[in-house]
Amino acid sequence: MTQKPAAFVAVILGCAVVLALAPLVLPPFYVRVGQLMLYSAGLAVAWTILGGFAGYASFGHAAFIGVGAFAAGLAEERLAGLPPALLLPIGMLVGGLACAILSAVVAYPILRLRGTFFAIAMLGVCHVCAELNNNIDALQGSLGLNFPAVAPAAWDPAVFFYELYLAAGVVVFLIAWQIQRSRFGAGLLSIREDEDTARMLGVPTERYKRIAFVASAVLTGLLGVIYAHSLGYITTDSVYRDDTNLSLIVYSLLGGMGTLFGPVIGAFTLVFITQVVLARLLDFHLFATGLLLVLLVLAAPGGVLGFVKSWRQRRRAAATAPAE
């Protein structure tokens, strides 16, 4: 690893340490808000591997949250005699494997679609998975699943899941970062810019898209397993959520589509606004949030990072312009 990547990783890990210490001074309410921020940011970065890097914006990633969560729950139910410390890793393994299988199967037909057609098809996949979950008795979607308590006895469960979301989010972020700076990541970028030209230039577009799709799905599913454990009980409606599908796109648009830090900034900002700033406005907060997003997108089409980048470019241009 060269010095620059090493320095980048050191900065990320340093930020993670600061965030890990935050529960020591935060009130319980803000620890729960922090959980949601970290969970949302992790999902947004996982979504970005496909939607931001490759340009295949998915409206149905909640399918992988649900599949991962229910696969883990069903497996853990059958292994109830094991120590709780083993159940979460086993659940994550089973949930990740289920998402890998589903995404690998779905990838072949669905990645032949592009743009709006792909987005709508993914929404359809999410709804089909939800309906199967509700109507197949063995999946227990209509009854719901209970998850065992996995937090160590000495830990406050809220703090435990905060730290778990943080650790998972850092891993997802570093995986996405490695993808972005690799030859594979460059291939995804070429697909986003012009897929037909990329194919003509020798980029294995179909293989790259499938890998990105599966990687994004598996990481999303693993976060879904943690989410299910933090809830303690899930139903179909609690994990196959259309508002989650929409939020993942909004986080990227707000922070900066196709970037790594953009989805994190977008997730942190929007969760803070909805859960803290507008929480007391009840139903009105949905309208207020929507209006705010419209204004932000109009004012900064490239998201927060795009706005900062253009502002710095204007300042640099003004500084180097010859004086009259």
pLDDT exceeds 60 at position 321: no
Q: What is the pLDDT of residue 37?
A: 96
Q: Out of 150-154, 163-167, 195-199, which region has the weakest mean confidence (pLDDT)?
A: 150-154
Summarize the confidence of residues 38-52 as an average pLDDT: 96
Q: What is the pLDDT of residue 300?
A: 63
pLDDT exceeds 90 at position 61: yes
Q: What is the pLDDT of residue 314?
A: 62
Residue 232 has, within 13 A of its CA and on its CB side, a CA count of: 4
Q: What is the pLDDT of residue 1?
A: 42
Which band of pLDDT confidence, cut at 50, 70 and 90, is reported for residue 289? low
Tokens of residue 262, six digits: 């953009």
Mean pLDDT of the chain: 88
Percentage of the chain with pLDDT > 70? 87
- Report domain extents, the chain: 3-283
Amino acid at 91: G
Other Cβ atoms within 10 Å of 38 Cβ, number: 27
How far does CA 305 lie from the centroid of its chain? 18
Name the fold adopted by 3-283: ABC transporter involved in vitamin B12 uptake, BtuC (1.10.3470)
Summarize the confidence of residues 119-136 as an average pLDDT: 94
Q: What is the pLDDT of residue 2?
A: 45
pLDDT exceeds 70 at position 322: no
Amino acid at 212: A
Q: List pLDDT tens digits, range 205-253.
A: 999 999 999 999 999 999 999 999 999 999 999 999 988 998 898 898 8
pTM of the model: 0.89
Tokens of residue 88, six digits: 């979460």
pLDDT exceeds 60 at position 324: no
Q: What is the pLDDT of residue 236?
A: 92
Q: What is the pLDDT of residue 283?
A: 64
C-alpha separations of 206 from 59, 176, 217, 239, 279 in Å: 20, 19, 16, 29, 44
Summarize the confidence of residues 12-38 as an average pLDDT: 94
Top pLDDT among 269 and 322 is at 269
pLDDT exceeds 80 at position 288: no
pLDDT exceeds 90 at position 204: yes
Residue 250 has, within 13 A of its CA and on its CB side, a CA count of: 20
Q: What is the pLDDT of residue 69?
A: 96
Q: What is the pLDDT of residue 307?
A: 59
Percentage of the chain with pLDDT > 90? 64
As a whole number of angstroms, the distance between CA 186 and CA 178 comes to 11
Tokens of residue 36, six digits: 């949601």
Task: Give the relative orientation of helices 28-51 and 261-272 as an angle to the nearest 10 degrees.
Answer: 140
CA angle 181, 185, 188 (to 5 degrees): 155
Which band of pLDDT confidence, cut at 50, 70 and 90, is reported for residue 143? confident
User: If you compute the radius of gyration of the chain from its CA atoms, what whole number of angstroms results?
Assistant: 20
